[in-house]
Amino acid sequence: MSKFWSQHTHALKPYTPGEQPQDTQYIKLNTNENPYPPSPLALEAMQQAVSNDLRLYSDPNAKQLKQAIADYYQVDISNVFVGNSSDEVLAHSFAALLNHNKPLLYPDISYSFYPSYIRLFGINAKSIPLDDQLGINFADYQQENGSIVFPNPNAPTGIAIAVAEIEQLAQQHPDSVILIDEAYVDFGAQTAIPLTQKYNNIIVVQTFSKSRSLAGLRVGFAIAPTELINGLERVKNSFNSYPLDRIAIEGATASIRDKAYFEQTCKKIIRTRETTEKALQTLGFNTLPSSSNFIFATTHKMPAEAIYLALKQEGVLVRYFNAPRIDNYLRISIGTNDEMAKLIQKLSKIINSH
């Protein structure tokens, strides 16, 4: 606390990221990072971008990257927005598109950055509880609102929603902006991007951090009707006209063009997730149906917090949320086959000794 902080700053409750320890080498299964390296083509493009040209500003519109994204998803370049991570794209979206007199509706158990944005921008908002199976039920969203935001698949549960249900939601709320946060969509869910070509109130946000192994590069994007994109550009250019550097633009462009490597990596993670789910169930865990690169699991054999702490002692990090309804769950990121085998081995030891 400081006397120099504004009253607004005192009232903020910042987002808490997953642990990134510097002191010890862990098997990191706590921040949903991709266990496989980026596309070799992306690495090569970034290495070539490290040149004397770094003395020059990057393209403020990142046209090259926008065009690559537009080509990949078969939309017009005017339907694409890019930013410094999907978190920044989300922040601009909250400011530009989700802040209305009527409340913003969002799931009560979801990406925990949403409440931080709501407080930062002073948004009138209402959280909607997940159902008894920890799923998002759009019947609960049939109430007055100015906008709606949710991840698909949801985080930290990993449960996906059918695009047909999202389309029905858009039809039911034609005057509300509906933002679908698709950070994990490439691991088994279906994107809602085609709906952005049919409805003027849908925006989809994605990231290069997860399925494209570029979490350290910080690149995200949105696809939406031009009217919504123009709102994002208006906010972005009132905040930072050059959000992406030359290296990031080159790396992300090469990455999205390397479709074969992307698909290969996603398939490997999905196979490992399915194998790990079965192994966890054999140990007595219940797992929610996951369409993401993580598993949300619980067991009656031992408190989740105790398992989290015991795994940390064994050199394995998973994510524990000390929050109502999910405080006996662990979110386990999918690593390599070898890393997940070690996780199962250590879990078996911990549970059996308990």
Residue 282 phi, psi (nearest 5): -65, -30
Whether the CA torsion 132, 138, 142, 146 is positive or negative: it is: positive
CA atoms within 13 A on the CB side of 210: 27
Tokens (6 digits) for 218: 């910080």
What's the pLDDT at 18?
72
Confidence of residue 280 (pLDDT cuts 50, 70, 90): very high
pLDDT digits (tens, 9 = 90+) for 42-60: 999 999 999 999 999 999 9
Over residues 104-112, the mean pLDDT reads 97
Using CA atoms, how far apart are residues 231 and 268, in angstroms rounded to an integer?
Answer: 38
Q: Which domains does the chain have, with CATH numbers?
A: 18-37+261-353 (3.90.1150.10), 40-257 (3.40.640.10)
pLDDT in tens, 226-265: 999 999 999 999 999 999 999 999 999 999 999 999 999 9
- How far, in Å, CA of 236 to CA of 250, rounded? 20
Token couple for 225: 């009707």
pTM above 0.85, yes or no: yes
